[in-house]
Amino acid sequence: MQRPLHKRKGGQVRFSNDQTIELEKKFETQKYLSPPERKRLAKVLQLSERQEIRPFDIQRWIILIFGRIVMGTKPMQLEGITVLLGSLKYSGDDYRLLGVDLSRLAQLEGALRGAGLDPAAPTLILAEMVLPYMEVERSDALIQWAAGHFLKAWFILYEQIHPSDPFGRIMQNHFSRLQSPLRSLTSYPDCKAQQMRFLQRGWTECHIMDMNEFYRSFVPGEEQKRIQALEPFDEFEEWHLKCSHYFILAASKGEDSSAPPVFPRVEDGRLFHTVNVLRSGWAVVLGGRKSPVSLALPPLRLKGLADADPFSPSNPVLELTPLPPVEGLSVPRWRHTATEVTHEGQAYLFIYGGCSSGQLVLTDWHFLHLEGLRCQQIPVEGPVPAGRHSHSACSWAGGVLIAGGLASSEQLLGSLLLLKPAGRGFRWHSLETCPPLTPRYSHTAHVHRGKLLLVGGVWLNPPSVPGVAVIDLATRALAEYHIDTTFLEWPLMLHNHSSVIIPDTEEMILTGGGGNCFSFGTHLNWSPIRLDLSSI
């Protein structure tokens, strides 16, 4: 019994790396362009050895059927194939099905030209179990031709490796009995050889992994559980052996064909966590969750690499390291805040509020000592504020400014709190603004030139939405500013976003934002936004 991970009809393997993410964005962009503009957008070229194929919805899909398999499984004379392969098998507005001898490159190029494939358009080439049936020198020539023909392209390859071990010998015998020997296995028996095959034939970047690694790295845990529950399964040995004998490869070429990797691969996927860049130069990631029922995750250490070249696509620019659990933190949490403070010459993170299991809204706080990664008791005086989550917090005057949030009763909060150094510890203070702050949550906050800026968020004052609230910290005067979005072609949603002020400038960068609008669909802001602060 075989699992349906790579035994399927017409399905496409989605290789989730930076290269295909960029290409998917290009496919999505085409929906908003005029027909003349769309002609030069991304295309998909599928090489296939069978006719059981089905395109998905993109601008142009061209499928090339390898000639010998179109006519059946018995070998045929090349002259007979040539007579049959000159005709177009199927044609639609955005879809072409061609019978082409892939080993005759001049004929192939002419057929593609006749099908309307523009070599200047970004092109994704899919080859699932096709190249092994060709003579090695001919499949090598095809790979090199594709690198030279297309200005910007991605080549996704899925086929076999490791022919010499017992499973590999059985695999080879199977295809030989079908009179379809795997011709490339001897020359390219493993992942390293296949990777060098592309790098030596004009492809500037190439990533490869066997299907065991693909399954562990790219199939989410919940999806793995779903697959395991589909039907009784007990062939674990053969399953892992088969996956170790198949690989998926993604090669790319062309300017900016891939983005520099930011981190080494880390199994994570959290949201509603905090990231604090510390005075020591590194950043700590705390809390977060995968789902409302999946508790917060262990902390992470994130550090920039001093010798990293941000323009080199093969070198990471950040190092991400798991940290041990925080000692003394009462419960896992998300939608909390973490702010760096100093007490008796030592650096701490003040962790406040948030949500925990069962949608519990937290009222506690902790002082996390960064060197030992443990929480310490520091005296805090004054009235204890109401528990909250989705509030904002930022450093000011040696303490922490906390604004807004959502209480346990889902009541929006309009309070402005100051945790201020006092004696041997800290003291809570409530700050009054004029006029009072309109309650809000899920906003971001910054102290900039003596003013507290609260950016975006959610409030209950339709039809208006929060822009930027500006509070003069000397006078407590408050003013609300509307964000002019008339130049945007899409709605700007400023919740679940991030913001940063560019040092020594009057500019703020907003990234992300948006979310699931239930039955209306999901909206995420399309691109970062630069906000001019010079007028406030």
- Give the β-pairing of 95-100 and 61-66: parallel
> Does residue 347 fall inside a structural domain?
yes
Rounded Cα–Cα distance for residues 120 and 102 (Å) = 21
CATH number at residue 156: 3.40.50.150
Which domain-ending residue is among 366, 387, 408? 387
Task: Output phi, psi for 225, to 5 deg.
Answer: -65, -40
If you average pLDDT over residues 284-296, what whole number do you get? 81
> pLDDT-based confidence at 59, cuts 50/70/90?
very low
Residue 53: closest CA among 98, 9, 7 = 9
Instruction: Say what percent of the chain tops pLDDT 90.
Output: 45
The answer on pLDDT for 6 being more than 90 is no
Q: What is the pLDDT of residue 520?
A: 84
Q: Are residues 248 and 280 in the same domain?
A: no
Q: The domain that contains 382 carries what CATH number?
A: 2.120.10.80
Cα distance between residue 5 and residue 210, in whole Å = 13
List the one residue out of 386, 381, 383, 380 whose CA is nearest residue 367. 380
Domain assignment of residue 381, yes or no: yes
Q: At residue 29, does pLDDT exceed 90?
A: no
The answer to whether the peptide bond before residue 463 is cis (omega within 30 degrees of 0) is: yes
The pLDDT value given to residue 252: 94
CB 507 within 8 A of CB 530: yes
Provide the mean pLDDT of the chain. Answer: 81
Query: What tokens were used for 445?
Result: 């906050």
Q: Are residues 235 and 127 in the same domain?
A: yes
Rounded distance between C-alpha atoms, residue 155 and residue 143, angstroms? 9
The reply to whether 279 and 246 lie within a common domain is no
The answer to whether residue 61 sits within a structural domain is yes
For residues 121 and 113, what is the distance between their CA atoms, to the nearest angstrom? 13
- 132 and 224 together in one domain: yes
Q: Is residue 326 located within the same domain as residue 228?
A: no
Q: With 60 as the cut, is the pLDDT of residue 475 above it? A: yes
Over residues 129-158, mean pLDDT? 94
Asked whether residue 24 is domain-assigned, the answer is: yes
**Confidence grade of residue 409 (pLDDT, cut at 50, 70, 90):** confident
Q: Are residues 247 and 278 in the same domain?
A: no
pLDDT at 309: 62
- Count Cβ neighbours within 10 Å for each residue of 380-397 and write b for 16 or more, e otherwise: eeeeebbbbbbbbbbebe
Residues 87, 215, single domain; the answer is yes
Q: Which residues contact 28 (CB under 8 A, 6 or more apart)?
A: none
Secondary element (H or E) of residue 468: strand 468-472
DSSP state of 477: B
Q: Which two tokens stand for residue 350?
A: 């003040």
Nearest C-alpha neighbor of 284 from the set 332, 217, 351? 351
Using the structure block, give the residue that is written with the tokens 């027909």. Answer: 35
3-state helix, strand, coil in the chain (%, to 5): 20, 30, 45
When pLDDT is cut at 50, 70 and 90, the band that residue 30 belongs to is: very low
Q: Which two tokens stand for residue 319?
A: 């190092």
Q: How many domains does the chain have?
A: 2
> From the centroid of its chain, how far is CA 389?
26
Tell me which of 361, 387, 413 is where a domain ends.
Answer: 387
Q: Does one domain contain both 249 and 283?
A: no
Q: What is the mean pLDDT of residues 238-253?
A: 91
Q: Are residues 248 and 338 in the same domain?
A: no
Q: How far is CA 529 from the centre of its chain?
A: 19
In the chain, the largest separation of any two C-alpha atoms, in whole Å, equals 94
Residue at a domain's end among 342, 367, 387? 387
Report the pLDDT averaged over residues 321-334: 85
Q: Across 162-314, where does the E strand assignment appear?
A: 205-210, 246-253, 274-277, 283-286, 300-304
212 and 287 in a single domain? The answer is: no
For the entire predicted model, the pTM comes to 0.54
Q: Name the nearest CA neighbour of 253 among 112, 157, 144, 116.
A: 144
- Is 54 domain-assigned? yes
Structure tokens at 83: 């007579």
Report the C-alpha gap between 332 and 180 in whole angstroms: 56
| Phi and psi, residue 113, nearest 5° | -65, -40
Could you tell me if residue 284 is inside a domain? yes
**DSSP assignment letter at 213:** H
Task: Look at residues 133, 142, 48, 134 and name the one whose alpha carbon lies nearest to residue 96.
Answer: 48
3 state SS of 399: strand
The reported pLDDT for the residue numbered 216 is: 83
Write phi, then psi, for 428 (nearest 5 degrees). -75, 135
The mean pLDDT of 488-505, rounded to a whole number, is 91
Residue 169: inside a domain, yes or no? yes
Average the pLDDT over 489-517 and give the result.
91
The residue written with tokens 């090598």 in the block is 140
Q: Is residue 53 part of a domain?
A: yes
Query: Do 167 and 293 fall into the same domain?
Result: no
When mean pLDDT is compared across 124-128, 214-218, 446-450, the lowest value belongs to: 214-218
Same domain flag for 120 and 247: yes
Residue 168 lies in domain: 20-66+83-253
Model pLDDT for residues 64-102, shown as the tens digit of each residue: 655 433 333 333 433 443 444 444 555 666 677 777 788
